[in-house]
Structure 1
Amino acid sequence: MITKIISKLKGDSSYNIRSRYSSREWFVILYERGFQVLRGFIAKFFLLKTKGLCFKGQSVTVKHRSLFTSGKNLILDNNVFINALSEKGIRFGDNVTISRNCTLICTGVISHKGVGITIGNDTGINSYCYLGGQGGIEIGDNVIIGPQVKIFSENHNFSDGATIIKNQGVTRLGVRIENDCWIGSGATILDGVVLKKRTVVAAGSVVNQSFEGNSLIGGIPAKLIKKI
């Protein structure tokens, strides 16, 4: 019955629970999800714009809610911090999961308003990730982002030796991650990077250049390991 409910919510007829759980385990899972739904309903009442169900954990902060929109079945786990202040705001598709202790921020300093963050359908962002959308971040559908991944979409200029770095301004090229990518735990994606469809980034990598699709990349800085 639970499989059918989740399958219907996700709109995925192939969804299946492959593991066995005891009645006690199901009780704990459903108890927590029930309170998340209740918090999500209250948040929607206070102008959090989402479609369908919203699962909201404890100590979730969404600033500038008028600039935040989401499709159905959004999960915001415990201690998520979102600041949507930006030109385009933050926009999520359907079935997006933002796990606990993630930070999504679009404007670092008031003097330079950010661009924003877009995340497609069925994409999951694991715990302790940081997304800085100052220069714009676009993430496609069915993307897996492991824990402690950092994505930066702006870069400080530092070439002028006569001026302190913080007064030299920034470069904003943005970051784009296309559909069906997997970003391994602890990876860092820097401004200007485009990862084409079906790119896999090894854990702990620092990606400072763009790569074609169907590629396994890794290292500091990341290099092509092999085509997949």
Structure 2
Amino acid sequence: MIEKIIKILKNDPNYKWESSYSLPDMLCISTVRILQIIRGLFLKPFLKRSAGLLFIGRRVKVRHGYQLSAGKNLILEDNVSVNALSANGIQLGDHVSIARDSILFCTGVIAQKGTGIVIGNRTGISARAYLAGQGGITIGNDVIMGPNVQIFSENHVFDDTLLTIKEQGVTKQAVIIGNNCWLGAGCTILAGVILGDGCVVAAGSVVNKSFPANSVLAGVPAKLIKTRNI
């Protein structure tokens, strides 16, 4: 029965349980989801747009929700922090999930309003992600991320040794992650990087330049290891 409900929610007739669960397992899972839906009902009126159910965990913080647009069945797990203050706000597609302790924000220094964050359909962001959208972050459809992924779209200027770094301001460059990418645990994507569709980034890598579609990257800084067979 639950499998049928999930098929409807995900609009995926091929969705199947791949493991068996006991009755206590299912009761716990169902209870958590029901409580998340109830919390979502309280948050929904404060968002710019919400197309479907909201699954909201405990201690979730959403600031400037009037600039947050959510598609169908958004999941924000425990302790997620979202601050949508920016020129373009935060736009989340259908069936997006953001795991516990993740942080999404668009404006750092309040005097310099940021650009915003766009996340496509069916993208899953794992625990403790840090997405800094001051210069703009766009993430495509069907992207998966391991835990502790960091994406930055702003850098400090530090050329003048006679001034403090804080006095020299910042540069903002958008980050674009294509569709169907896999960002491994603990990788860092720096400002200005564009990754084409189907890229894979190894765990712990630091990506400081752009790569074309289907690239497999690893290292600090990240280098092309191979190209996926297409």
TM-score where L is the length of structure 2: 0.97
Match of residue 5 from structure 2: 5
Could you report, residue by residue, the CA deviation over 1:15-69 in whole angstroms, capped at 9, with x for unpaired residues? 1111111111000000000000000011113446311110000001100011011
Match of residue 50 from structure 1: 50
Could you report, residue by residue, the CA deviation over 1:112-134 in whole angstroms, capped at 9, with x for unpaired residues? 10000000000010001100000
CA distance in 1, matches of 2:107, 2:178: 23
CA distance in 2, matches of 1:92, 1:25: 30
Give runs of aligned pairs for residues 71-90 of structure 1, distance below 5 A: 71-90=71-90
CA distance in 2, matches of 1:9, 1:76: 16
Match of residue 212 from structure 2: 212
CA distance in 2, matches of 1:102, 1:45: 23
Match of residue 70 from structure 1: 70
CA distance in 2, matches of 1:177, 1:46: 29
CA distance in 1, matches of 2:49, 2:24: 34
Secondary structure of 1:69's counterpart equals strand
CA distance in 2, matches of 1:60, 1:31: 18
Kept in 2: contact 1:49–1:65 (CA 8 A): no
Give runs of aligned pairs for residues 1-228 of structure 1, distance below 5 A: 1-47=1-47, 49-228=49-228
Gaps of 5+ in 1: none
Count of residues in Structure 1 that have an aligned counterpart in Structure 2 = 228
CA distance in 1, matches of 2:125, 2:137: 14
CA distance in 1, matches of 2:171, 2:202: 26
CA distance in 2, matches of 1:92, 1:67: 11
Could you report, residue by residue, the CA deviation over 1:153-184 in whole angstroms, capped at 9, with x for unpaired residues? 01111111222111111111110001000000
CA distance in 1, matches of 2:48, 2:201: 33
Secondary structure of 2:131's counterpart equals strand
Secondary structure of 1:210's counterpart equals coil
Kept in 1: contact 2:47–2:69 (CA 8 A): no
CA distance in 1, matches of 2:202, 2:224: 10
AA aligned opposite 2:171: T
CA distance in 2, matches of 1:17, 1:111: 49
CA distance in 2, matches of 1:201, 1:167: 34
AA aligned opposite 2:135: G
Q: Give 1:76 shift.
A: 0.5
CA distance in 1, matches of 2:174, 2:154: 7
Kept in 1: contact 2:47–2:68 (CA 8 A): no
AA aligned opposite 1:190: L
CA distance in 2, matches of 1:45, 1:106: 21
